[in-house]
Amino acid sequence: MRGSREGAMGFYERHIGPRLVSCLCGAADIRAEREKLVPAAQGIVLEIGIGPGLNLPLYDPARVSRVIGVDPHASFLKLGTSRRDSAPVPVEIRQEPAERIQLPARSVDTAVVTFTLCSVQDPARCLTEIRRVLRPEGRLLFLEHGLSREEAVARWQHRLNPLWRSLAVGCNLDRPVLASLRAAGFSIEAAQEYYLPRTPKPLAYLSRGTARPEP
């Protein structure tokens, strides 16, 4: 019985979970939030957790020379094949973890993380790597869901997180976004924190903005 349960979970993580997450992250309300952020990217862009490529149609070819997409999960990358083929900018895919980015230091102009810090294994190390590869004048564009400032909502996020993490293949509800950025050596340039409309509050607390690596 144990083997059958593990096999079922493996099937879910490879085939069902990624499609569910891609569908949720591609919803119209979330796409509208992406549209407020992603077009600001410029130069050589590093996108962490590129997966199904939901941001690719939003890059401005007049501003972006190429996108380097990092994602360790073949199942998520497979979902993005058609978007990569039709992307308005050149795309290079690296199937590797965000905690070990195989790029030289100070080699990218913009880093993009959208609904990704919730699911990387080690957010602090991921952000340290992003800071390493960003040029000193580079920017990090972020759009993430995370721990609410409202105590009542945060309590529900902590309670629901184990179940949600299993359903959403590693996504966490209760990671603090802005605090994590600051702890990793980023200066917050601009940020908004708010709830996504028409979504249960424990799932809906968003942080959107820009940050720069501190000297």
19, two tokens: 């499609």
- Strand pairing class (43-48; 64-70): parallel
Quote the pTM value. Answer: 0.92
Q: What is the pLDDT of residue 21?
A: 83
Q: With 80 as the cut, is the pLDDT of residue 48 above it?
A: yes
CA angle 40, 41, 47 (to 5 degrees): 135
Q: What is the pLDDT of residue 6?
A: 41
- pLDDT tens profile 59-115: 999 999 999 999 999 999 999 999 999 999 999 999 999 999 999 999 999 999 999
- pLDDT tens profile 134-175: 999 999 999 999 999 999 999 999 999 999 999 888 999 999
For residue 163, count other CB atoms closer than 10 A to its CB.
Answer: 10
pLDDT band at 124 (very low <50, low <70, confident <90, very high): very high
How far is CA 69 from each of CA 26, 56, 102, 133, rounded to the nearest angstrom?
A: 17, 10, 12, 13
* DSSP code at position 57: G
- pLDDT tens profile 180-215: 999 999 999 999 999 999 999 999 999 999 999 998
* Cα Dmax for the chain: 56
Q: What is the pLDDT of residue 19?
A: 84
131, two tokens: 């800071």
Contact 26, 87 (CB under 8 A): no
- Could you give the 3-state DSSP secondary structure of residue 111? strand
